[in-house]
A and B are shown apart, each in its own frame.
Chain A
Amino acid sequence: MSTKPAASSAGTGDTILALASPAGGGLRAILRASGPDARSLVAAVTDLGPRLGNDRAVLEGQFHDGRGTIPLLLLWMPGPRSFTREDVVEFHLPGSVPLVEAALDALLARGARLAQPGEFTRRAFASGRIDLARAEAVLALVLASTKAERRQASALLFAGVSERVRACRDLLEDLCATCAASLDFDPLDTGAVDQAALVSGIRGACLALEETLSGTERSSARAHAPKLVLAGRPSAGKSSLFNALVAGAAAGTRPVPRALVDPAPGTTRDPLSAAWNLEGLECELIDTAGDEPERMDLEVQGAGHSSITQQARVLAADHRRSADVLLWVVDSSRSTAGEIARDLPASEAPTLVACNKLDMNPEVGLALAESVRLALPHVTACAVSAYTGAGLDALRAAVRAALSVAPASQPIAPAGSGLEAQAAFHLSQAHQRALQRALERTRQGLSQLEAGASMDLIAHSLRRALDELGSLDGHSTPEDILDRIFARFCLGK
């Protein structure tokens, strides 16, 4: 083992790397590396190597991912004045998923390795940079996989995934048991391995892994996509606007209404969400139930209805709070700037006001947008018509602009709720990579089997595949495999 006795670094030897930005498909992605090779990584993949000194620096340059260059903003934090006391570097890149993947691969190819969950924190702790209480608090969140409360964080992201991972593990353990039985016991006891059954078993495992992987990708892509939340009073036309925006993204196709549209207020109860490709940026568009004033409840018959309304409202409020951009929709034919200023929920996210129903009275609509801009200087107002599509381009541009001022950067020692997002994101990264490697190993087993390789090699590939899943929810031990063998076969002389 080669541990470098570097005085200033934590002396941990290798350089770890992680995607540190919470939005995978956001505007900006941050790759953070820590360790003795941070400086040489910069030299290897950017044009900024010669400009790194012994002081902190923010530099602009180019990232070479092997195929082309990507504009880069680089944060250089040489040790020991960094979070981990090692050399730390952040690569801020445009947030397109394929670009970030390419950059990640380029850095991994240069000797960085993907950090384990909580590893930055571990290094910070080991170097004495943060105290135990703080480190444990961070780890408790980042290492979400055992305790119920930790599970909740990832449950949102990976609903159904852990079930599927378990199913994959089950298939692989069984295959490993089949191989181990053939390797470790007399064939008179275990019988010859049924070649065809093994092939179809491995194929089944591949399929299960592929499905799990695509499930993770979907859920993580959605979870990391910036959220654009449509809110407003009932019947402001939120659902119409939702449909218009979603349909407009798929150019050339006939708009298919997704949200139920009805002039009666309160038609939308459950938030409806859709992936929305905003000029190449993957967003999630969420339509919420109308925020009705209390008195409207009284006009509605039946307690059941009222409680559903109540629930819908709570859910809508949750969505508003988690929004990256809030799009407040008003009926321009029936609203005043004063009312809007009063109704507009307080939000940390950039807020846009869409003065809808421009088609009913264009002059009133445009005037309202103008007076909102004057009354509320922090919001952007657009006059639009979900019905005709007028003003939608301007609205899209405004959303794009609003997203670009949304805080994409995380502080290097994240605190508070940002951690959850980071933990969840970190997990999703680790999950996907582990599943991907497990799949590769399983496929390798299949091709070995088909090429007539010996059983020890096939067993090796399958065992490694199973090991890869270990980082997700615990390792399968040899005992687990042996248990299966003993349950299946009558063994022994």
Chain B
Amino acid sequence: MNARQHMIDAIRSMGARMAATSTGHGVERAPATARTDAVYAHGAAQVEQALASGVYMADFWMPHAHRINEVQALRARLAEITATSLLRRLHGDEADAIRLRLALIPHELVWSDTIHNLVTTEGKNAALTHLLKGSSYTASQALGLIEDTGYSAVSATNTAANITASGGGSPANGWNEAPSATVATRGTPSFGTAGSGQLATSSAVSFSTLATDTIKGAILLIRSSAGVAPTTAVGNTSGALYSAGLFSGGDQAVTASGTLNVTYTAGL
């Protein structure tokens, strides 16, 4: 008997002993010929972890005091001429001119803060569904603000369906979205190019603040697992809540005529 044959016999002998002992520990065995399919199941040691994370950065700007009235007048005119589809068609050039003029009015930074968010379970489920099963997915997001009224906590169990913006005392999510009296609508983020496992907004979402309010943080909504898109209407419950988070530096105040710029970077 040569060395190769010795090795083959040894392996067969070892396999027989392992089979004899392992059945006593509950390992299922089936004759190779009885197998018609291949099955792979991962064990705990084989799970590769992917942590969903995100960071919001927010800056609040106010115009110089002597130009607040001018900003208010320009914003009012802009709202007036962009209220309907027909008005937008008729006054498109004027709207562009007003936006440019607003952008040229000097503003001062009042405060700046960051939010390290939590990604909700509903958001993870929607992201996984569209990432791994999507065939006709059209991205759609909306970014809103959390206010202090009725606040108790943000949680991974928060959902879009439970969003409230009425300023109630016991909101289902543990927080209320900042109402339309504070910001007319949610913002619409746009995203740049993903790199190093991160994807950031290509431009800040800009909120024109309409009243004095205390802002605690921000939320991001995406298309739901069922494919329903979020809308920019404050308090709307369509879509899926992807993330929610609070300012690192505590509550932040906004006032009328200000501009709150928010960026978001998602990571996996």
A and B bind: no
